[in-house]
Amino acid sequence: MRTSVLLLHRASGEPVEGELFDEVTVEHFLEAQREWRPIVLDAAKRLVEAGAAKEEIPRHWHWDWSSKESDLRVLAYGFVGIAYEGRLQGLMKLETAGRSGRIAAQKGKPLVYVDYLETAPWNIKQIASVLGAKPKFGAIGTRLIEAAVRRSLEEGFKGRLGLHSLSSSERFYLDVCGMTAVGKDPAKQSLLWCEFTPEQAEKFLAGGTA
Amino acid sequence: MNQKRTMTLNLTDQEMKVLEDLSNQKDLSKTAVLRQALRLYQLVEVKLAEGGKLFFEDQKKEKAELMVL
Amino acid sequence: MKMNTDKNWLKNMAEREDGCFVSVGGLVESLEQKEQASNVIPMKPAFVRFVELARRERSLSLEQFAEKVDVDLVELVKIETEASYKPAIRTVHRIAEFLKVPQKKLLALAGLLQMKDPEFQTAALRFAARSAPVEKLSMQEHSDLEEIVKLLCEQ
**Prediction ipTM score:** 0.87
**A157 falls in which pLDDT band (50, 70, 90)?**
very high
CB count, 10 Å around CB of A189? 16
Q: How confident is the model over A121-142, as a mean pLDDT?
A: 90
Q: Rounded to two decimals, what is the model's pTM? A: 0.68
Mutate to test the interface with B, among A74, A106, A197, A199 (most CBs of B within 10 A): A74
DSSP state of C4: P
Q: Looking at chain A, which subunits does it touch, using at least 3 CB pairs closer than 8 Å as the criterion? A: B, C
Domain of residue C48 covers: 39-153
Give, in order, the Cα–Cα distances in Å from A108 to each of A92, A104, B27, C60: 24, 9, 10, 65
Q: Looking at chain B, which subunits does it touch, using at least 3 CB pairs closer than 8 Å as the criterion? A: A
Return the H-helix or E-strand segment holding A1. Answer: none
CATH number, domain containing residue A32:
3.40.630.30
Q: How confident is the model over B33-49, as a mean pLDDT?
A: 92
pLDDT digit string, tens, across residues A47-85: 777 777 766 776 665 566 666 678 888 999 999 999 999
CB contact under 8 A, C12 and A207: yes
Q: Is A152 exposed, middle or buried (0-12, 13-18, 19+ CB in 10 A)?
A: buried
C49 assigned to some structural domain: yes
Report pLDDT for C42.
63
Helix (H, G, I), strand (E, B) or coil at C139: helix
Q: At what angle do helices C62-69 and C89-99 cross, to 10 degrees?
A: 90
Give the C-alpha separation, B33 to A91, whole Å.
28
B1–A contact, CB cutoff 8 A? yes
Report pLDDT for A208.
56
C20 assigned to some structural domain: no
C76 assigned to some structural domain: yes
Give the C-alpha separation, C150 to C137, whole Å.
18
Please identify among residues 66-105 of chain A the ones whose CB lies closer than 8 Å to any CB of chain B: 70, 74-76, 96-98
Q: How confident is the model over B48-55, as a mean pLDDT?
A: 81
Give the C-alpha separation, B35 to B19, whole Å.
12
Domain of residue A184 covers: 2-206
Q: How confident is the model over C48-65, as a mean pLDDT?
A: 89
> Is A89:A7 a contact under the CB 8 Å cutoff?
yes
pLDDT digit string, tens, across residues A95-110: 999 999 999 999 999 9
Indicate the residue of C1, C5, C89 with minimum beta-carbon distance to A38.
Answer: C89
Indicate the residue of C7, C13, C24 with minimum beta-carbon distance to A165.
Answer: C24
C102 assigned to some structural domain: yes
C21 contact partners, CB below 8 Å, separation of at least 6: A58, A124, A126, A166, A168, A169, A172
C-alpha closest to that of A145 among A124, A126, A168, A172: A172
Report pLDDT for B6.
92
**Buried/exposed code over A22-45 (b: 16+ C-beta within 10 A; e: otherwise):** bebeeebbebbbeebbbbbbbbbb
Q: Where are the beta strands (DSSP E) in C5-142?
A: 23-24
C145 contact partners, CB below 8 Å, separation of at least 6: C50, C53, C54, C57, C137
C105 assigned to some structural domain: yes
pLDDT digit string, tens, across residues C104-149: 888 888 888 777 677 787 788 777 777 545 567 778 878 888 888 8
CB count, 10 Å around CB of A172? 23
**C38 falls in which pLDDT band (50, 70, 90)?**
very low
With pLDDT > 70 as the criterion, what percentage of chain A qualifies?
A: 91
- In the predicted model, is pLDDT for residue C31 greater than 50? no
C3 assigned to some structural domain: no
A161 contact partners, CB below 8 Å, separation of at least 6: A111, A112, A113, A114, A145, A148, A149, A152, A179, A195, A196, A201
C5 assigned to some structural domain: no
CATH number, domain containing residue C131:
1.10.260.40
Give the C-alpha separation, A120 to A128, whole Å.
10
Indicate the residue of A7, A115, A117 with minimum beta-carbon distance to C22.
Answer: A117
CB count, 10 Å around CB of A66? 15
**A210 falls in which pLDDT band (50, 70, 90)?**
very low
Give the C-alpha separation, A189 to C86, whole Å.
23
Q: How confident is the model over C69-80, as a mean pLDDT?
A: 86
Indicate the residue of A22, A75, A156 with minimum beta-carbon distance to B39.
Answer: A75
Give the C-alpha separation, A156 to B33, whole Å.
10
- String of DSSP letters for B25-43: HHT--HHHHHHHHHHHHHH
Give, in order, the Cα–Cα distances in Å from C77 to each of C35, C66, C94, C128: 25, 9, 15, 18
Number of domains forming the structure of chain C? 1
* Chains C and A are in contact, defined as 3 or more C-beta pairs closer than 8 angstroms: yes
C1 assigned to some structural domain: no
Report pLDDT for B37.
95
Report pLDDT for A55.
66
Number of domains forming the structure of chain A? 1
Q: Where are the beta strands (DSSP E) in A40-130?
A: 77-84, 87-95, 112-119
C-alpha closest to that of A36 among A99, A114, A109, A118: A118
More confidently predicted of A172 and A62: A172
Query: B32 to chain A: which residues are within 8 Å by CB?
Result: 155-156
Helix (H, G, I), strand (E, B) or coil at A121: helix
CB contact under 8 A, A169 and C32: no
